[in-house]
A and B are shown apart, each in its own frame.
Chain A
Amino acid sequence: DARVTQTPRHKVTEMGQEVTMRCQPILGHNTVFWYRQTMMQGLELLAYFRNRAPLDDSGMPKDRFSAEMPDATLATLKIQPSEPRDSAVYFCASGLNMAGELFFGEGSRLTVL
């Protein structure tokens, strides 16, 4: 049963610490998305990749967030330094193309104290 895997599922950290979230997309999918979900803002697109190349990261605060795909089986989202306002659930999703169905992971719930 192919699925998108995200780690960690839960993370509690203190302000100023570095946080790295990881995502394993479904094998064969060539598009990967990072979303952030909060009660106030809903779902926000942070960044997406096609064939491991970043296509759009305009939704990401550039000074502290970075997203990479070191290889086709791993996408990472890093926050350094983290701030309380970064507390949210971060979702990774993968798909076969930009306009098709997205397969979501279970999310990484981040709490920054």
Chain B
Amino acid sequence: AQSVTQLDSHVSVSEGTPVLLRCNYSSSYSPSLFWYVQHPNKGLQLLLKYTSAATLVKGINGFEAEFKKSETSFHLTKPSAHMSDAAEYFCVVSAPGKTIFGAGTRLFVKA
């Protein structure tokens, strides 16, 4: 069975400060893990993906995520938030035949 939990429904940071969006997963298989971003009135766009290669994955717009099997986590980070990062972020776990989306974390960035 697979599941994904995004630990925060909302995160608020100031521009220029680090971003941490937390995601825990469970999977009976070796999963593929993804982070997607959704800007207002837009579709979801892939930020980055982990598919059993390097555990530290770099994505677009300065985001990265680290796969930690022992903690079953795949947290998303960015060293310095920008106003344009304000959006909703979805953690996704995928294995053959099943793709599960987290509930989403809305990121607010204050000037």
Binding site for B on A (CB under 8 A): 4, 33, 42-43, 45, 55, 91, 93, 98-107
Among A43, A45, A98, A106, contact of B96 (Cβ-Cβ < 8 Å):
A98
Find out whether the CB atom of A106 lies under 8 angstroms from the CB atom of B43. Answer: yes
Among A43, A101, A107, contact of B90 (Cβ-Cβ < 8 Å):
A43
Binding site for A on B (CB under 8 A): 32, 34, 36, 41-46, 49, 90, 94-99, 101, 103-104
Complex Cα distance, B93 from A99, in Å, reads 9
Q: Which residue of A lies closest to B31 (CB)?
A: A99
Complex Cα distance, B36 from A22, in Å, reads 23
Find out whether the CB atom of B34 lies under 8 angstroms from the CB atom of A105. Answer: no
Contacts of B101 in A (CB 8 A): 42-43, 45
Contacts of B95 in A (CB 8 A): 99
Among B34, B44, B103, contact of A91 (Cβ-Cβ < 8 Å):
B44
Among B43, B46, B96, contact of A101 (Cβ-Cβ < 8 Å):
B46
Q: Which residue of A lies closest to B90 (CB)?
A: A43
Find out whether the CB atom of B104 lies under 8 angstroms from the CB atom of A43. Answer: yes
Given contacts A99-B32, A102-B44, A104-B45, contact A42 B94 (CB under 8 A): no
Contacts of A98 in B (CB 8 A): 94, 96-99
25 A-B pairs with CB atoms under 8 Å apart are A33-B99, A42-B101, A42-B103, A42-B104, A43-B101, A43-B104, A45-B101, A91-B44, A93-B43, A93-B44, A98-B94, A98-B96, A98-B98, A99-B95, A99-B97, A100-B94, A101-B46, A102-B36, A102-B44, A102-B99, A104-B43, A105-B43, A106-B42, A106-B43, A107-B43
Complex Cα distance, B97 from A55, in Å, reads 9
Complex Cα distance, B2 from A112, in Å, reads 34
Q: Which residue of B lies closest to A48 (CB)?
A: B99
Find out whether the CB atom of A104 lies under 8 angstroms from the CB atom of B96. Answer: no
Find out whether the CB atom of A101 lies under 8 angstroms from the CB atom of B104. Answer: no
Complex Cα distance, B103 from A101, in Å, reads 18
Query: How near does chain A come to B3, taking the closest CB pair, in angstroms?
Result: 14
Query: How near does chain B come to A8, taking the closest CB pair, in angstroms?
Result: 14
Contacts of A106 in B (CB 8 A): 42-43
